[in-house]
Amino acid sequence: MAKKFLSGNEAFAYGVRLARPQVISAYPITPQTIVVEKLSEFVEDGSLNAEFIHVESEHSALSCAIGASSVGARAFTATSSQGLLYMAECLPYAAGGRFPIVMMNANRSTALPWNIYGDQRDSISQLDSGWIQAYACNAQEALDLALMSFYIAEHKDVSTPFMANLDGFVLTHTYEVVDVPTAEQADAFLPKYQTDNKMDLQKPRNLAFSAGPDTNAFFKHREHLGILNASKIIGEAEERFAKIFGRRYTGLTESYRTEDADYILITLGSLSGLVREVVDELRKEGSRVGLLRLRYLRPFPNEEIAATVKNAKAVAVLEKDISFGNEGTVYTNVNSALQKAKLRIPSSDYIGGLGGRNIYKEEIKIIFDELEQQQSTVKFLGIGGETNGN
């Protein structure tokens, strides 16, 4: 293990190199570029033995990765925002074909208005595409996630593509000290990709076929089961990871000072670092507050959320997305988790950080203050006013 000073993008690229992908296809888009530049350098200097394909669009980036995966190769791509939307056709395609491609997405706002800065409207718009979705909160987790994502995606009980999300700029471009594991450690962690779901010269197959009304649901149900299975395999991967690398992750969610918390703020990504600080400050003042970070949005941590917040007086979601005409999508999902667990807890939604707008400590403190009113509201942070008639 070696300590390096790396940005989130670079850390992720180091993680990908350790996973030894055989085919990388990518198209540049801010703020993803550094991860593919770094991987190109690794291929050039011989430290990564992969086919690097300079595709002419994001649609081709993922289509090419699907092609590589369809013959049993380990495939990686990376994108962001408009690029993710441009390749959107290929997302359910990869998931439906059960091709365990790993993709890094640098979370960035979507046009219009044009904006290159970070929010999570890009990836969250693709929640229904059948991909596992993870959200890293720092560069170390980004590297570790890169390595773990292949293990999880390629596990035979999962066979589902994996989207690892890093907040644009805030995480992708911020430098931190990162432990970079050795290749030997990584090889001990990550087995070679082996699958029967491939075209094979010895055993020819027809893949990515049509399935009509009589058989379609069978395949879709299997796809659903595969991504649900990821919950268990994520735990298995993290256990294995902890044994080899000594760093332990906590599955679909990570809770901070929630055990006795009356008020819990639920968020995801790099924002959780700031919320953690606010929780510490408010705790010093005697407030019983806590943080629940969603590390994964798919599979969705229904049970983990319910178990964590069951004794809380109120919860709020702070998210960098909005489903126009309704509310933040994370909030919708969280409320569904509460409902299924028969928890009648007031919940509020705060939509912030759109287009990279900074979120301030004071705003988070206000959220915790407002939580004490135990109401259910949907608000845009920094704009003021409720967004619906709740």
Partner 1 sequence: MAINAKTLNETEFFYGHKACAGCGGSLAVRIALKVLGENAVAVLPAGCMSAVGFNFPQLCFGNNAIISTFAGTASMLTGVEAGLRAQGITDFHAVGFAGDGGTADIGLQALSGAIDRNDDILYICYDNEAYMNTGIQKSSLTPFGARTTTTPAGKNIRGNLRPKKNLFEIVAAHGIPYAATASVGYINDFMRKVEKAKNIRGTKYIHVLAPCPTGWGVKTDETVEIAKEVVDCGLWYLAEYENGEFTLNRRPKEFSDVSAYLKRQSRFKHLTDADIEIITRSRDEKWEFINNSFK
Select from 89-97, 140-148, 168-176, 230-238 the region that touches partner 1 (CB under 8 A).
89-97
Minimum distance from residue 223 beta carbon to partner 1 (Å) = 14
By CB under 8 A, name the one of 26, 75, 227, 237 that touches partner 1.
75
CA 14 – CA 147 distance, rounded (Å): 9
- What one-character-per-residue DSSP string does 322-363 give? --TTS--HHHHHHHHHHHHTT----EEEEE--GGG----HHH
- Binding flag, residue 51, partner 1 (CB under 8 A): yes
The encoded tokens of residue 280 equal: 């510490």
Residue 131: closest CA among 72, 165, 82, 91: 91
Rounded to whole angstroms, how far apart are CA atoms 110 and 108?
A: 7
Our finding on whether 204 is near partner 1 (CB under 8 A) is yes
Using CB under 8 A as the binding rule, whether residue 43 contacts partner 1 is answered as: no
* CB-nearer residue toward partner 1: 177 or 207: 207
Q: In what order do the strands lie in the sheet with 162-167?
A: 51-54, 23-26, 75-79, 102-107, 162-167, 132-135, 296-298
Task: Kindly state the smallest distance separating residue 98's Cβ from partner 1, in Å.
Answer: 13
The span of 10-18, 30-38, 85-93, 309-317 binding partner 1 (CB under 8 A) equals 85-93
**Shortest approach of partner 1 to residue 217 CB, angstroms?**
13
Comparing CB distances to partner 1, the nearer of 53 and 139 is 53
Instruction: By CB under 8 A, name the one of 210, 286, 325, 342 that touches partner 1.
Output: 210
Distance CA 3, CA 19 (A): 18
Going from the C-alpha of 177 to that of each of 11, 58, 151, 314, 375, the distances in angstroms are 10, 31, 24, 36, 41
Question: Using N-to-C axis directions, what is the helix angle for 8-19 and 139-154, rounded to 10°?
Answer: 30
How near is the Cβ of 211 to partner 1 at its closest, in Å? Answer: 5
Q: Which amino acid is at 51?
A: E
State which H helix or E strand residue 226 sits in: helix 216-245
The three state secondary structure string of 149-173 is: HHHHHHCCCCCCCEEEEEECCCCCC
Query: Among residues 20 and 38, whose Cβ is nearest to partner 1?
Result: 20
Nearer residue to partner 1 within complex by CB, 93 or 296: 93
- Binding-site member from 9, 30, 70, 159 for partner 1 (CB under 8 A): 70
Q: Report the residue from 111, 177, 208, 242 that binds partner 1 according to the rule CB under 8 A.
A: 208
Which segment (31-39, 122-130, 159-167, 197-205) binds partner 1 by CB under 8 A?
Answer: 197-205
Query: Which of these ranges, 49-57, 220-228, 339-347, 351-359, lies near partner 1 under the rule CB under 8 A?
Result: 49-57
Site string for partner 1, 229-268 (x = CB under 8 A): ----------------------------------------
Angle between helices 8-19 and 33-44 (to 10 degrees): 40
Whether 262 contacts 288, CB under 8 Å: yes
* Interface contacts to partner 1, rule CB under 8 A: 22-23, 25, 50-51, 53-57, 59-61, 63-73, 75, 89-90, 93, 199-201, 204-212, 215
